């Protein structure tokens, strides 16, 4: 069902407060746990600014019980703001995956050896195609799912319908457009 080799898969998500970074990790973690039958630990941190300041949320997904809850070397870093990129890029694993919102994050500096970078116009897709900027995080979940195959699409769809029943149609559209953007980014990287 997934392409990752190790039983422990670490994900870091960074953005600014108000982008739904924590919600993103929670939905991804719930999907992995409830529908994909994985063990999951989710943690989060954000500065005193809350809205506007850099925030991060992290997930550890494993086939086995998670013995240590903190992300040590993320396999994937999803950067949704420049400040979060600069603050949280350190530690990304060699041959890891970096997914960025291309309108908000310029990839700069030296990346670890073999890191694959995928640029997703998540905010633009949410604003222009979905018609609601608040779905940017769901667009990015879709891109993550398409790029990594670490979460089941059927599980994500079920979780989104359960979590946001009043806004299910809007969020499922955002997920679908995010997956399309992720597949396009995968092709562009080859």
Tell me the per-residue pLDDT of 125-175, one tens digit each, with 9 for 90 and over.
999 999 999 999 999 999 999 999 999 999 999 999 999 999 999 999 999
pTM: 0.92
Enter the tokens of residue 6: 């190790």
Provide mean pLDDT across the span 63-74: 92
Look at residue 54 in the predicted model and tell me its pLDDT. Answer: 80
Range in 18-27, 49-58, 59-68 the model is least confident about: 49-58
Q: Give CA–CA dist 95/114, Å, rounded.
A: 4
Domain boundaries defined on the chain: 8-189
Provide mean pLDDT across the span 27-52: 85
CATH architecture of structural domain 8-189: 3-Layer(aba) Sandwich (3.40)
Reported as a single tens digit per residue, the pLDDT across 71-90 is 999 999 999 999 999 999 99
Look at residue 4 in the predicted model and tell me its pLDDT. Answer: 43
Reported as a single tens digit per residue, the pLDDT across 85-115 is 999 999 999 999 999 999 999 998 889 999 9
Enter the tokens of residue 158: 């079920």
**How do 39-46 and 116-120 pair as beta strands?**
unpaired
Enter the tokens of residue 46: 């954000």
């Amino acid at each position: 069902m997934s392409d990752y080799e190790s039983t422990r898969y670490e994900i870091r998500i960074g953005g600014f407060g108000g982008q739904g970074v924590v919600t993103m990790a929670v939905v991804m973690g719930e999907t992995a746990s409830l529908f994909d039958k994985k063990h999951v630990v989710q943690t989060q941190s954000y500065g005193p600014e809350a809205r506007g300041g850099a925030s991060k949320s992290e997930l550890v997904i494993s086939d086995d019980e998670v013995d240590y809850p903190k992300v040590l070397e993320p396999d994937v870093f999803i950067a949704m703001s420049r400040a979060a990129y600069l603050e949280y890029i350190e530690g990304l694993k060699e041959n890891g995956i970096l997914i960025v919102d291309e309108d908000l994050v310029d990839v700069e500096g030296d990346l670890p050896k073999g890191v694959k970078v995928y640029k997703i116009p998540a905010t633009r897709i949410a604003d222009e195609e979905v018609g609601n900027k608040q779905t940017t995080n769901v667009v990015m979940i879709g891109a993550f799912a398409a790029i990594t195959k670490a979460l089941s699409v059927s599980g994500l769809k079920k979780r989104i319908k359960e979590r946001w029943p009043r806004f299910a149609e809007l969020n499922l559209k955002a997920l679908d457009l995010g997956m399309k953007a992720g597949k396009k980014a995968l092709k562009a990287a080859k």
